[in-house]
Amino acid sequence: MEAPAATTIDPGSTAWMLASSALVLLMVPGLALFYGGMVRKRNVLNTMIMSFVAMAVIGVQWIAFGYALAFGKSVGGLIGWEPDWFFLNGIPHTKLYADKGVPELVFVMFQGKFAIITPALISGAIAERMRFRSYLVFILAWATLIYCPLAHWVWAADGWLFKLGVLDFAGGTVVHVAAGVSALVLALKLGPRRDVARGAPVLPNNLVLTLTGAGLLWFGWFGFNAGSAVAVETPVAGFVAGLAFATTQTAAAAAGLTWVLVERWHHGKVTSLGLASGLVAGLVVITPAAGHVAPWAALVMGVLASAVCYGAVQLKSRLGYDDSLDAFGVHGVGGLLGAVLTGVFCFTPVTGLLHGNVSQFGKQVLGAAVATVFAGLGTWLIATVVEKALGSLRTTDQVERDGLDIAVHGERGYHFDQV
């Protein structure tokens, strides 16, 4: 049964949603810096553009039909279908979203930022070797055929996973599991970079950029998680936003500390890249649980996320796949862990009613498994079709050797000490 529609705007919630939308969008330049610093100098612009261009491609897709597919009237709990909402027709600026007291256009913009950053995350696995036009077609198709259905299943009131009771507060399943698994599939389909295949070292060009990007991601993530409290009943939404804010900070801090301690024990040194990777792992793991767990549980989740993701990152060289910037190792593995641990630690905020039980744990495992299979198979099919339609997913050996910045974009990120 649908909640009665709100009739009065809530100024506080609206202001926070507007701010949160801007914070989430800021995460995209943050991601560009985070990824851009880890590649070689000859590919820094191409890598950063892959994040930035998602703001343009998916920004238009979301307005044109993406929102209608994700949050429109449900067709069997599988997809939204609201043609009147195409290009946001039928959504006047005075219309409020459900019972939340927030203009629906604000909700559209907030959710649109999630839709933008999710395919951008995938670019971390295929950096330095995917054709740019193939990437553009791929992310448009992926956002339409993978992201929108998953968002509907998990977040729309009539989505089948939502009705089943699967919890995903801010995108552990919809964003991180889907993007991380898809990143792995696409990396396997492309094959390793030529230098990685030859065993040559691939060194970051500028870890100052990576640390700056990590800081912007951490900052923006407060909007990502705490802004998602709009989905909660209006009387307690502010309390839940505060809880999500606190758990986000706690998990990131715990994970960053754990990663550097493990790294110090394993390699004898603490690195900036390790610290950045650890705090992002903590942010990923808490995303599905942010408004559902207590701060002490967020601390435990952050510690576990760092240990597990650290191990996953070490395994890629042994297993022989080239996840360039650890999109799967951090986002995929961290997202899966967070989705499952949500079923272990979750409770209903404010009342303190316990949810963490065998039943909820099973629902979380099911949700994570469904997202894994759907995103994995869907990505393989989309990539196969794009490859056949455009001739190739991967750049030529010559372009990869010369660098994608100059070969694809006719620009250089640096005009000194080129490698």
Query: With bands split at pLDDT 50, 70 and 90, how would you rate the model's confidence at 374?
Result: very high
* Burial track 200-211 (b if 16+ CB lie within 10 A, e otherwise): eeeebbbbebbb
Assess if residue 335 is contained within a domain: yes
| Mean pLDDT, range 297-326, rounded to an integer | 95
The number of domains in the chain is 1
What angle in degrees, to the nearest 10, is found between the helix axes of 272-286 and 295-319? 120
Angle among Cα 276, 279, 283 to the nearest 5 degrees reads 135
pLDDT at 235: 61
CATH of the domain at 57: 1.10.3430.10
Q: Per DSSP, what are the bridge partners of residue 329?
A: none
The CA–CA distances, whole Å, from 223 to 96, 268, 289, 373, 411 equal: 20, 36, 15, 29, 34
Assess if residue 1 is contained within a domain: no
| Mean pLDDT, range 261-281, rounded to an integer | 96
| Mean pLDDT, range 190-219, rounded to an integer | 94
Answer yes or no: are the C-beta atoms of 90 and 28 closer than 8 Å: no
**pLDDT cut 70: percent of the chain above it:** 94
Cα Rg, the chain, nearest whole Å: 20
pLDDT at 357: 75
Q: Per DSSP, what are the bridge partners of residue 80?
A: 74
Q: For residue 32, what are its two tokens?
A: 């560009």
| Mean pLDDT, range 276-287, rounded to an integer | 98
Tell me which of 347 and 160 has the higher pLDDT: 160
Q: Per DSSP, what are the bridge partners of residue 347?
A: 354
Assess if residue 416 is contained within a domain: no
Assess if residue 99 is contained within a domain: yes
pLDDT at 415: 81
Query: How many C-beta atoms surround the C-beta of residue 196 within 10 A?
Result: 18
Separation of alpha carbons 155 and 43, rounded Å: 37
286 closest CA partner among 327, 325, 228: 228
Q: What is the pLDDT of residues 317-326, one digit of tens each?
A: 889 899 999 9
Does position 312 have pLDDT exceeding 50, yes or no?
yes
Assess if residue 5 is contained within a domain: no
Does position 1 have pLDDT exceeding 50, yes or no?
no
Question: Which range (40-54, 232-246, 266-280) has the least confidence?
Answer: 232-246
Q: What is the pLDDT of residues 115-131, one digit of tens each?
A: 999 999 999 999 999 99
Question: Which range (9-18, 125-134, 297-306) has the least confidence?
Answer: 9-18
Question: Which range (8-22, 245-259, 322-336, 380-394) has the least confidence?
Answer: 8-22
| Mean pLDDT, range 297-302, rounded to an integer | 98
Backbone angles phi, psi at 76, to 5 degrees: 65, 20
Q: What is the pLDDT of residues 381-419, one digit of tens each?
A: 999 999 999 999 999 999 999 999 999 999 999 986 544
Q: What is the pLDDT of residues 321-370, one digit of tens each?
A: 999 999 999 999 999 999 999 999 998 765 555 666 788 999 999 999 99
pLDDT at 7: 72
What does the H/E/C string look like for the chain? CCCCCCCCCCHHHHHHHHHHHHHHHHHHHHHHHHHHCCCCHHHHHHHHHHHHHHHHHHHHHHHHHHHHHHHCCEECCCEECCHHHHHHCCCCCCCECCCCCCEHHHHHHHHHHHHHHHHHHHHHHCCCCECHHHHHHHHHHHHHHHHHHHHHHHHCCCCHHHHHCCCCCCCHHHHHHHHHHHHHHHHHHHCCCHHHHCCCCCCCCCHHHHHHHHHHHHHHHHHHHHHHHHHCCHHHHHHHHHHHHHHHHHHHHHHHHHHHHHHHHHHCCCCHHHHHHHHHHHHHHHCCCCCCCCHHHHHHHHHHHHHHHHHHHHHHHHHCCCCCCCHHHHHHHHHHHHHHHHHHHCEECCCCEECCCHHHHHHHHHHHHHHHHHHHHHHHHHHHHHHHHHCCCECCHHHHHHCHHHHHHCCCCCCCCCC
| Mean pLDDT, range 223-246, rounded to an integer | 85
Query: How many C-beta atoms surround the C-beta of residue 180 within 10 A?
Result: 31
Answer yes or no: are the C-beta atoms of 364 and 168 closer than 8 Å: no
Answer yes or no: are the C-beta atoms of 201 and 404 closer than 8 Å: no
Assess if residue 391 is contained within a domain: yes
Pairing of strands 74-75, 79-80: antiparallel
Assess if residue 166 is contained within a domain: yes
Answer yes or no: are the C-beta atoms of 93 and 103 closer than 8 Å: yes
Which residues constitute the domain of residue 384? 11-192+204-409
Q: Length of the chain, please?
A: 419
Residues 6 or more apart in contact with residue 139 via CB below 8 angstroms: 54, 57, 58, 119, 120, 122
Assess if residue 135 is contained within a domain: yes
Q: For residue 115, what are its two tokens?
A: 């839709």
Separation of alpha carbons 40 and 25, rounded Å: 26
Q: For residue 411, what are its two tokens?
A: 């620009």
Separation of alpha carbons 364 and 59, rounded Å: 30
Residues 6 or more apart in contact with residue 186 via CB below 8 angstroms: 122, 125, 126, 130, 138, 379, 383, 393
